[in-house]
């Protein structure tokens, strides 16, 4: 009964099949109904009906032809919409291969375009990394955006018995002021202190000069960081002489102890006393927001950490309570610093009343940048932005020249039946490939450059 044209195998026939356009699907449905009505008309005629009666009967038993046509049209629309998406998935690897072939045929053009873009992207990535590090996410810790350094504007010193505030740069407060802040403020969930010392000690059996620092037990907790190995100090170990414990930097753990597990429990000797290593600091851990101070003193980040109570430290950090801004915290720090009893203890002697008022600040990491540095960053950012713009313009020009040279090719393609949409897609694919390759090389350039 069935005489299907199955000369060619199914896969091959699919290749030769015309694309299923919406109009064609609707036409197919109409043809199918036409045949159906003709066959029923014939059937009724063979039962002895007149031509007109047979046709009417066939139409009657079919139902609403118009309605079915609309149904078929909606179905065709639905099917072809998905078909277009499906076609795209089938065709894009072809577009990519085609574009790659084209690039391979013009290696000089490709190299120049990719390198131009890559340099522009690389420069931007590098500068953005700096901006990101300085302004957007300066503290790489979970609590980073809530951490402030507790500073005074100018160092509070005592010169010849006379209290004075020298210069205006951020300075570490005297230990007693930091202690007052730590105990009396309400803006902070926690206050931690660090003190940097530079002494020699006997470690791992040999005399070694290592940078070391004192820290309160809650330092890592405040930052939201965890020791990379072992544990942090306990609060009761802060009391000097109570417990002789130490933590070491990750770097020093690897260089002096070979990263061995049994480092925990080994002893360091410092000023004739032994300290037991209880933990290893996180990788790359250093005193937060201290990069500039360390540069000035040409100190590296501390390798040995000993516990100390907050009153023995002067580099203070506060973890802002949720909802508290650095401005609110600054106000509270100032109120405490300039309270009568605090001034009396900071500026002893008869001239206390005459001394300037103390200006304290709760500083976020980005607040450490001066106006000049900010300006430099802005100018650099604008410059690399302009550079990228120039690079883009150049590449666009190159592409334009190439498109002009290829107009014969495009004409041939159109002559062979390629639609405008298809040609545009080829061009877009080429551009996207250029951009992706340039982006990848640009990231490598930025990475090597930093």
Partner 1 sequence: MGSESKDLLHGTLDLLVLRALAGEPMHGFALSKWIDRRTNGDLGIVDSALYKALNRLEDAGAVHAEWGISENNRRAKYYSLTGKGRKQLRHQVASWKHYVAMVNGLLEPG
Binding site for partner 1 (CB under 8 A): 1-5, 28, 31-33, 35-36, 38-40, 43, 61-65, 67-68, 71-72, 75, 79
Compute the least distance from the CB of residue 58 to partner 1, in Å: 9
Give CA–CA dist 349/293, Å, rounded: 32
- Sign for the pseudo-dihedral over CA of 246, 247, 253, 255: negative
Strand residues in 292-409 grouped as ranges (E): 304-307, 315-320, 360-363
Compute the least distance from the CB of residue 36 to partner 1, in Å: 5
Nearer residue to partner 1 within complex by CB, 37 or 293: 37
Nearer residue to partner 1 within complex by CB, 47 or 206: 47
Nearer residue to partner 1 within complex by CB, 29 or 264: 29
Element housing 232 (H / E): none
Nearer residue to partner 1 within complex by CB, 71 or 240: 71
Q: Using the CB atoms, write b or e for 106-135: b if 16+ within 10 Å.
A: eeebbeebbbbbbbbbbbbbbbeeeeeebe
SS3 of residue 274 by DSSP: strand
Compute the least distance from the CB of residue 45 to partner 1, in Å: 14
Residue 307: left (phi > 0), alpha (psi -120 to 50), or beta? beta
Q: Are strands 315-320 and 267-270 parallel, antiparallel or unpaired?
A: unpaired
Nearer residue to partner 1 within complex by CB, 74 or 184: 74
Residue with tokens 């040409």: 298
Nearer residue to partner 1 within complex by CB, 68 or 381: 68
Q: Are 435 and 111 in contact (CB under 8 A)?
A: no
Nearer residue to partner 1 within complex by CB, 82 or 89: 82
SS3 of residue 167 by DSSP: strand
- Sign for the pseudo-dihedral over CA of 30, 34, 40, 41: positive
Q: What are the backbone dihedrals phi and psi of residue 152, each rounded to the nearest 5 degrees, phi first?
A: -115, 155
Q: Are 186 and 332 in contact (CB under 8 A)?
A: yes
Identify the bridge partners of residue 317 per DSSP, sorted by sequence position. Answer: 149, 192
Compute the least distance from the CB of residue 382 to partner 1, in Å: 57
Nearer residue to partner 1 within complex by CB, 25 or 201: 25
Nearer residue to partner 1 within complex by CB, 40 or 252: 40
Compute the least distance from the CB of residue 79 to partner 1, in Å: 8
Compute the least distance from the CB of residue 4 to partner 1, in Å: 3
Structure tokens that stand for 370 in this block: 């001066």
Q: What are the backbone dihedrals phi and psi of residue 66, each rounded to the nearest 5 degrees, phi first?
A: -60, -45
Compute the least distance from the CB of residue 10 to partner 1, in Å: 9
Compute the least distance from the CB of residue 54 to partner 1, in Å: 14
Compute the least distance from the CB of residue 60 to partner 1, in Å: 9
Identify the bridge partners of residue 156 per DSSP, sorted by sequence position. Answer: 165
């Amino acid at each position: 009964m069935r005489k299907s044209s199955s000369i060619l195998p199914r896969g091959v026939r699919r290749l030769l099949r015309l694309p299923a356009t919406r109009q064609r699907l609707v036409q197919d449905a109409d043809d199918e109904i036409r045949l159906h009505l003709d066959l029923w008309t014939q059937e009724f005629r063979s039962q002895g009906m007149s031509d007109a009666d047979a046709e009417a009967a066939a139409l009657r038993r079919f139902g609403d032809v118009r309605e079915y046509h609309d149904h078929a049209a909606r179905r065709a629309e639905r099917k072809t919409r998905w078909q277009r998406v499906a076609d795209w998935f089938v065709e894009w690897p072809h577009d990519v291969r085609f574009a790659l072939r084209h690039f391979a045929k013009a290696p000089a053009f490709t190299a120049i375009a990719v390198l131009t873009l890559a340099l522009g992207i690389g420069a931007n990535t590098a500068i953005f990394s700096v901006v990101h590090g300085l302004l957007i996410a300066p503290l790489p810790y979970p609590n980073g955006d809530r951490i402030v350094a507790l500073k005074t504007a100018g160092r509070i010193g005592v010169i010849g018995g006379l209290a004075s505030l020298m210069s205006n740069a951020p300075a570490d407060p005297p230990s007693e002021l930091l202690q007052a802040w730590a105990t009396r403020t309400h803006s902070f969930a926690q206050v931690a202190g660090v003190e940097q010392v530079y002494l020699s000690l006997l470690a791992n059996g040999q005399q070694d000069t290592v940078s070391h620092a004192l820290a309160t037990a809650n330092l890592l907790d405040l930052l939201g960081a965890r020791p990379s190995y072992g544990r942090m100090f306990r609060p009761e170990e802060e009391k000097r002489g109570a417990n002789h414990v130490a933590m070491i930097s990750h770097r020093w753990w690897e260089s002096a102890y070979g990263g061995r597990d049994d480092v925990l429990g080994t002893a360091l000797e410092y000023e004739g006393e032994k300290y037991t290593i209880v933990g290893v600091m996180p990788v790359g851990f250093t005193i937060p927001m201290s990069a500039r101070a360390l540069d000035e003193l040409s100190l590296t980040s501390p390798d040995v950490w000993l516990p100390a109570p907050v009153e023995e430290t002067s580099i203070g950090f506060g973890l802002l309570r949720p909802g508290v801004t650095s401005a609110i915290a600054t106000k509270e720090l100032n109120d405490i610093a300039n309270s009568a009893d605090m001034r009396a203890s900071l500026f002893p002697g008869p001239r206390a009343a005459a001394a300037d008022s103390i200006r304290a600040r709760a500083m976020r990491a980005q607040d450490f940048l001066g106006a000049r540095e900010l300006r430099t960053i802005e100018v650099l950012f604008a410059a690399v932005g302009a550079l990228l713009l120039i690079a883009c313009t150049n590449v666009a020009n190159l592409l334009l020249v190439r498109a002009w040279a290829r107009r014969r090719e495009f004409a041939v393609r159109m002559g062979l039946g390629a639609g405008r949409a298809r040609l545009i897609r080829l061009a877009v694919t080429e551009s996207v490939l250029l951009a992706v390759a340039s982006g990848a090389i640009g990231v490598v350039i930025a990475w090597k450059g930093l």
